[in-house]
Amino acid sequence: METHKPHVLLIDDERATIELMGAVLGTQGFQVTLCHTAREACHLLDTLRFDAVVTDVVFEGRAEGADLLARCREAQPDAVVVLMTGYPAVDAAVSAIKSGATDYLQKPVDPIVLGAMVHKSLRERQLDVGRGRLAFSEMVDIVSGMVANTIERVDPYTAGHGERTRRYCRILGERFGLEQHTLERLELGAIAHDYGKIYLDDLGFLTKQGPLTPEEYREVQRHPELGARMLGDHPHLEDVCKYVAEHHEKWDGSGYPRRLREDEISLPGRILGVVEVFDSLSTKRSYKDVWELPKTLQFFEAQRGRAFDPRVLDEFLALLEVHGEEWIAAPQRDLEAAGVRPPG
Ligand SMILES: [Fe+2]
């Protein structure tokens, strides 16, 4: 099973220093992103999710660290933040903690000590969660698990489909520079995209052997709008419902339920549409085998500008060059892990 490596953003304008620190943190079980300017750091904080942020307080002689810290607290409220400072220890401790950092280290920083400090802070944060303090991202994880389990109960062959779709949507969304709050809503939409299926009048044909009749197909086509409606009307869910409702719309206007086309479909909706089809094609169903990667790529190419937005498709194909073989095999692995026997 894939284990989650804590993602650390390391910010300092001294390139050689952070490259060395990054390499050492890499050996300590962290995934590390390096960044040399406050501007680049702000962009990363808005677009990616980090478990920890380690930053210098001074960039190129200007004290940009304080602004960066405020930005960090806003964009990544759950992250552990460690400041690196050249100032005398006591002053630095007071100002760092006052300004919301989890901890601080005086320069020159020993990467081994830094790694141990970040691991310890992350463990303590986990304990806080255990004591009842839930971060928003953890709540999303918990609720997502519940929704995914509910959908998979009526269609066990989709085990892991929601979670995989969520993961790939986030990666693809990050490539488009979507903001954090949009990414979170896209992830929720990805998990819940087939939620409407559990409200269909007849659930039997979801696992039916063989193709659907035209009547059954019409019934299944109700699920995007049903899902969007049944998710509720909480203001935070407005965009989530939109993406769920859009996930079977197509770029050329031939999708359902509203036959939206091109920019009438939101960008997250178009991202979800591409990703969801990929994961469905790589899943064995009662009426079809798993598609191998070359056949899937051929299908996507043929659908450029038809089912899919060419821009979204190109970014996704670039991801498949790296992850294609792993992602195409993932549904079978998840079905086996869930103890579900593939149909047929
Ligand atoms: Fe669907």
Residue 344 within any structural domain of the chain: no
| Alpha carbon of 194 to ligand 1 centroid (Å) | 5
When pLDDT is averaged across residues 80-97 and rounded to a whole number, the result is 68
DSSP label of 256: S
Residue 1 within any structural domain of the chain: no
- Domain ends where: 130, 159, 188? 130
Cα first-last separation, the chain = 26
Structure token pair of residue 81? 């933040």
Q: From CA 87, how far away is CA 80, in angstroms rounded?
A: 21
Please classify residue 217 by burial: count the beta carbons closer than 10 Å to its beta carbon, then call 0-12 exposed, 13-18 middle and 19+ buried.
exposed
Angle at 63 (CA atoms; ends 60, 67), nearest 5 degrees: 120
Domain of residue 271 covers 136-337
Q: What is the pLDDT of residue 190?
A: 95
Residue 218 within any structural domain of the chain: yes
Say if residue 60 is in the same domain as residue 91. yes
Specify the CATH number for the domain of residue 275.
1.10.3210.10
Please write the tens of the pLDDT for every residue from 244-287.
Answer: 999 999 999 999 999 999 999 999 999 999 999 999 898 876 66
In this predicted structure, the answer to whether residue 297 has a pLDDT above a threshold of 60 is: yes
Q: What is the pLDDT of residue 38?
A: 82
Smallest CA-to-CA distance from 76 within 49, 57, 103 is with: 49
Q: From CA 201, how far away is CA 44, in angstroms rounded?
A: 45
| Alpha carbon of 334 to ligand 1 centroid (Å) | 19
| Alpha carbon of 154 to ligand 1 centroid (Å) | 13
Specify the CATH number for the domain of residue 16.
3.40.50.2300
Residue 343 within any structural domain of the chain: no
Say if residue 158 is in the same domain as residue 210. yes
Residue 342 within any structural domain of the chain: no
- Domain ends where: 103, 130, 157? 130
Say if residue 143 is in the same domain as residue 126. no
Say if residue 120 is in the same domain as residue 192. no
Residue 114 within any structural domain of the chain: yes
197 is catalytic: yes
| Alpha carbon of 224 to ligand 1 centroid (Å) | 6
Say if residue 216 is in the same domain as residue 321. yes
Say if residue 78 is in the same domain as residue 194. no
Residue 264 within any structural domain of the chain: yes
Say if residue 164 is in the same domain as residue 295. yes
| DSSP per-residue string spanning 175-190 | HTT--HHHHHHHHHHH
When pLDDT is averaged across residues 81-86 and rounded to a whole number, the result is 81
In this predicted structure, the answer to whether residue 201 has a pLDDT above a threshold of 50 is: yes
Question: What residues are paired with 55 via a beta bridge?
Answer: 11, 83
Total structural domains within the chain: 2
Q: From CA 318, how far away is CA 201, in angstroms rounded?
A: 40
Which residue would you say has higher pLDDT here, 221 or 60? 221
- Domain ends where: 130, 163, 194? 130
Taking each helix axis as running N to C, give the angle between helix 310-337 and helix 293-302, from 0 to 180 degrees, rounded to the nearest 10.
150
| Alpha carbon of 276 to ligand 1 centroid (Å) | 8
Which residue would you say has higher pLDDT here, 175 or 337? 175
Q: From CA 260, how far away is CA 46, in angstroms rounded?
A: 30
| Alpha carbon of 248 to ligand 1 centroid (Å) | 6
Of the candidates 98, 107, 197, 295, the residue annotated as catalytic is 197
Contact 58, 149 (CB under 8 A): no
Say if residue 30 is in the same domain as residue 84. yes
Contact 21, 34 (CB under 8 A): no
When pLDDT is cut at 50, 70 and 90, the band that residue 160 belongs to is confident
pTM to 2 decimal places: 0.63
Contact 83, 152 (CB under 8 A): no
Say if residue 153 is in the same domain as residue 31. no
Smallest CA-to-CA distance from 270 within 279, 260, 281 is with: 260
Residue 88 within any structural domain of the chain: yes
Say if residue 324 is in the same domain as residue 289. yes
Q: From CA 294, how far away is CA 301, in angstroms rounded?
A: 11
Please write the tens of the pLDDT for every residue from 98-145.
Answer: 666 777 788 888 999 999 999 888 888 776 655 566 666 677 778 788
Say if residue 101 is in the same domain as residue 117. yes
Say if residue 122 is in the same domain as residue 180. no
